[in-house]
Amino acid sequence: MKGQLLHITPSKQQAHILMRWIGCQRFIYNAKVQDDRYFRTFARKSLQLVGQYAPIDQTYSQYKAQAPFLKEVPSQILRNGAVRWRDAYSRFFARLGGRPKFKQRHGRQSMLVTSVMPRESLVRIC
């Protein structure tokens, strides 16, 4: 993946929007981790599902019903949360790291923003 690492100094209003976006991206990532854990626990206990695992995909729309605040965030931000989870799982299968774990609120905060991001969303920040 080719990209640039940017360090920005946003205003208070911009920081608030960015932190909301980061939190929503983390929410999607953690929801995918939780679903995976639940499915693996269920699969262990059920003889019918032995050998099956949660699908490793990029879907995230099912979480919008659980958390209505996700509808206020650009869909690219949410999709990138699911992409980060899928990439972490791919690294796990390639034996380059451990199984994806819950991300926490404190510590280093980052967000994946791709070139697909609509200009209107970025203008809202500026």
Rounded to 5 degrees, what angle do the CA atoms 29, 99, 24 make? 10
**Pick from 75, 85, 87, 86: nearest CA to 113:** 75
pTM value is: 0.80
Location of structure tokens 């940017």: 6
Three-class SS of residue 54? coil
**Pick from 104, 95, 96: nearest CA to 33:** 104
pLDDT in tens, the chain (126 residues): 577 777 778 889 888 988 999 999 999 999 999 988 888 777 666 655 555 656 677 788 888 888 999 998 888 888 889 989 999 989 998 999 999 999 998 888 877 777 766 555 555 555
| Amino acid letter for position 23 | G
